Structure 1
């Protein structure tokens, strides 16, 4: 006999009060993933700045709207484990982080993403699951379309360095999200009731197949192979139990996906790749040279950082602050001569979380995934019905793909990746057994809304200010006036201080340069750039080290 997991206030009929929260959630998802400002408006920050602001704004609006209609809140083991992860991240931020501004950015992504996940689950349980999943597929289809338009000419030049990335501006990040969307596309396709919707979903599958192929993202390709193999085996075992309609639509999904791949392979594009697609496929597991070897070097150095700070890490967002201490000779991730010697995030979600948050936080996050997988396995074994079984398969596939890509690239450490995964997994994850029940009164709901504003407002405001300051820094021609304004706007902006200090040093204004470079070195105490710039004033490196000692760890 099938036993359904108990949950509170579950309904297949949408509750009227959820409409506003759904609009905030879905509207924020579309705006964050597809919104791009013209280059003339925000220069190099036209991709990251508006997405950061929209992400936190969507989390704020959705959380407040959910608190407004919710009268009874239930938390299961998944919610509590995620709360532990967010709490440990906040503890690490307050206790050990050396650069508080990077911490504000990184912790804000975690807290806003957690809010979106916790809001998506009750919305899905109250009749909005289908709408949310459909929105995930449609936004992925539109993202794939922008990738193709960039690759084939109409949007050429949209992302200059990481093409074709479409409205994300980065081909790897676009490919990650598109691959993760495929299980949801299949799920919605098997449930569609109208022919026009079937056509739209098949088109999304074809667009996604073509776009993922054109990105040549090896992490996404590897995840797609793992995901496809796992889903194929699982579906093959259950093929006899599926009805004829479900089998036909699954076959149609595969044909559409492969059709998109075929079109991408044979249709000429404007991309200037040097090697063939076969070369990229053969290098999918490369680790003895190229980027694969660079990742292994970075992982080894990051592992030493983890060993030195296993409990709370070095603080959210502070991996680039400490990485120069652990770099080794020949490390391609580190450029000692660059103003910013290392990237803002490591080349792995899991290494990043371990290094920045510590082992206990990583275990809490792993527990979230473990609980979701265990529930999916239980639903599949208990045969809770074809609908729940398909959801379990889709959720398992998403988590498997995320596990692979998070091991070799970053997904959850980016705002768009966190938003997309939080909404998608939140909609697929059915409620488990209640652990905590909260029935807040009006006063407590208002207090919770104030807390939401405080947690999301800081990262939202700072993200907007930081984006404008970085726009001023990289605006040509570079002037001292703009650099000074950027330094005043962004107290965590090291680039503005380094460029301004260099300008002052070349002009012989050494006292002003020293004060500015000291501020930059306090933000990144292990960077060589301030010392090298200071040497232009014919002073020894030891002078700056003596006047601005490294912070005590």
Structure 2
């Protein structure tokens, strides 16, 4: 391979992850792609770290790095409080790979390469949204594994919505970057697909989070335009018209095309979400919180009982039953997460972890402020605005859902942090490479890959157990459950027959 080809390898690896993480899904699985997406993420990090070891690159240092490292450190030491340390290892491995992304991508990818990878992200989400729209309308894709349509390749509609709102700011940025009417129209089509799919998911928290992120995006862009207009008035008018037309067409689609999912989505289990208007109205109906308020109150008590290190990474689901008084637990199963990532962090990593997460948020805000006040060019400004808006969307959605668990969403978040770190004018580069740290990181990423693969095998056998139990084949349920446990205790529900 030529030197130029080698230098492009990190960009290609990141692009592969941006394509694979949203699209990969397996049928014989309870968690519908969660573990196999982790395998791909970890394998990608092994490749990135190995490349950083073999090739000499200037090491990029950012103020975002320290709180990100400390947050992982606190999450890791919380394992001493864990009931199930297998689950802790899975969670820690996931967050370790995200940390590698934040630390390595600014060093291995320049600004142009980052912009190119974000184009890939926008195009991929156009495909996933088209699949989701086809499912919603009953045109195609109904055979893709899912726990609730329309979900595209994400396994559940809420997961799809979380990914979509994280990417929409980058699509708008690309639309505004285009000077060609044809390319602008193409990105307008991608925006229409994403907006239509987001509306089709009927995910209220994602709608609100997307609205907040778009307000932030427009406010930042308006402020920058006022400081120093960088786009020709004609081009700006064309971009605004294309954006408005895409959103208008998405609204028309939502009103004129009804859901037709063969009763495999909310048309069966949540009929109040059949229309957009009824979905919004259902927000104010009794029980609209879906037991969230009860889980949050119980989680606060859990935090009060375990304030320092929490109950251990990934172990909220094991500790929660003793705090529940029949509000959320049923004979079907127990909750896996509290539907609020901030309470989740505090419960599993203690108040210390939550405070470091707040520090990380402040560091991100500070880095973004420095980028916006440094007088960068139009492209840099648009990419930075999109990255911050994406983080805002994910952070807002985290108040009512669990994007922290979703592999594609967290990778987009880590990539957004890497973009801001790369553009921060106070970031520094050094020729000294932490070879020992990189070698250790490569081994940890490889170990995480093996663990995630074992989880894939566990998940497959766990599904066979569920099928056996549904058929009242108790012997088969015990056999498949025992086989699953041979790979590790990756899900406590395996003990329920």
1:481 corresponds in structure 2 to 479
Q: Look up the SS of the partner of 1:407 in the other structure.
A: coil
Aligned pairs for 1:403-552 (under 5 A) are 403-429=395-421, 430-434=423-427, 437=430, 439-440=432-433, 446=439, 448-454=441-447, 456-476=448-468, 477=471, 478=473, 479=476, 480-499=478-497
Aligned pairs for 1:24-423 (under 5 A) are 24-37=13-26, 39=27, 42-93=28-79, 95-125=80-110, 127-153=112-138, 154-192=140-178, 194=180, 196-239=182-225, 241=229, 242-244=231-233, 245-271=235-261, 272=267, 274-275=271-272, 276-284=275-283, 286=284, 289-292=286-289, 294-329=291-326, 331=327, 333-335=328-330, 337-338=331-332, 340=333, 342-423=334-415
Counterparts of 2:296 and 2:425, CA distance in 1 = 36
* Compared CA separation, residues 424 and 463, structure 1 to 2 (3 A): farther
Q: Look up the SS of the partner of 1:74 in the other structure.
A: strand
Q: Look up the SS of the partner of 2:313 in the other structure.
A: coil
Counterparts of 2:482 and 2:372, CA distance in 1 = 60
Query: For residues 392-449 of structure 1, what are the alpha-carbon distances to aligned partners after superposition, in whole Å with 9 as ceiling and x for unaligned?
Result: 3323322321221011111022222212222233234424534784623877754553
Query: For residues 438-475 of structure 1, what are the alpha-carbon distances to aligned partners after superposition, in whole Å with 9 as ceiling and x for unaligned?
Result: 62387775455334423x23433332232233233224
Counterparts of 1:283 and 1:73, CA distance in 2 = 51
Q: Is the 8 A contact 1:345 1:352 kept in 2?
A: yes
Counterparts of 1:381 and 1:250, CA distance in 2 = 24
* Compared CA separation, residues 441 and 78, structure 1 to 2 (3 A): closer
Query: For residues 40-94 of structure 1, what are the alpha-carbon distances to aligned partners after superposition, in whole Å with 9 as ceiling and x for unaligned?
Result: xx1534433322322222222233223332433132210121111111111112x
* Compared CA separation, residues 425 and 15, structure 1 to 2 (3 A): farther
Q: Look up the SS of the partner of 1:398 in the other structure.
A: helix
Query: For residues 240-272 of structure 1, what are the alpha-carbon distances to aligned partners after superposition, in whole Å with 9 as ceiling and x for unaligned?
Result: 534221342133123213322321221233142
Unaligned runs of 5+ in 1: 1-13, 500-553
Q: Is the 8 A contact 1:56 1:459 kept in 2?
A: no
Counterparts of 1:18 and 1:290, CA distance in 2 = 54
Counterparts of 1:492 and 1:415, CA distance in 2 = 16
Q: Look up the SS of the partner of 2:60 in the other structure.
A: strand
Aligned length: 474
Counterparts of 1:386 and 1:131, CA distance in 2 = 16
Counterparts of 2:68 and 2:137, CA distance in 1 = 41
Q: Offset at 1:495?
A: 3.9
- 483-492 or 20-29, larger mean C-alpha shift: 483-492
- 42-51 or 407-416, larger mean C-alpha shift: 42-51
Q: Is the 8 A contact 1:113 1:418 kept in 2?
A: yes
* Compared CA separation, residues 435 and 16, structure 1 to 2 (3 A): same
* Compared CA separation, residues 301 and 491, structure 1 to 2 (3 A): closer
- 465-474 or 28-37, larger mean C-alpha shift: 465-474
Q: Look up the SS of the partner of 1:166 in the other structure.
A: coil
Q: Is the 8 A contact 2:128 2:152 kept in 1?
A: yes
Counterparts of 1:451 and 1:104, CA distance in 2 = 11
1:5 corresponds in structure 2 to none
Q: Look up the SS of the partner of 2:64 in the other structure.
A: helix
Q: Is the 8 A contact 1:47 1:169 kept in 2?
A: yes
Counterparts of 1:404 and 1:491, CA distance in 2 = 32
* Compared CA separation, residues 50 and 458, structure 1 to 2 (3 A): closer
1:540 corresponds in structure 2 to none
Counterparts of 1:461 and 1:370, CA distance in 2 = 35
Q: Offset at 1:308?
A: 1.4
Counterparts of 1:389 and 1:431, CA distance in 2 = 11
Counterparts of 2:88 and 2:436, CA distance in 1 = 31
Counterparts of 1:33 and 1:66, CA distance in 2 = 25
Supply the RMSD in Å over aligned alpha carbons. Answer: 2.6
2:264 corresponds in structure 1 to none
Unaligned runs of 5+ in 2: 262-266
Q: Is the 8 A contact 2:193 2:250 kept in 1?
A: yes
Counterparts of 1:280 and 1:195, CA distance in 2 = 36
Counterparts of 1:105 and 1:80, CA distance in 2 = 22
Counterparts of 2:424 and 2:216, CA distance in 1 = 24
Q: Offset at 1:212?
A: 0.5
* Compared CA separation, residues 374 and 402, structure 1 to 2 (3 A): same
Q: Look up the SS of the partner of 2:170 in the other structure.
A: helix
Q: Is the 8 A contact 1:473 1:495 kept in 2?
A: no
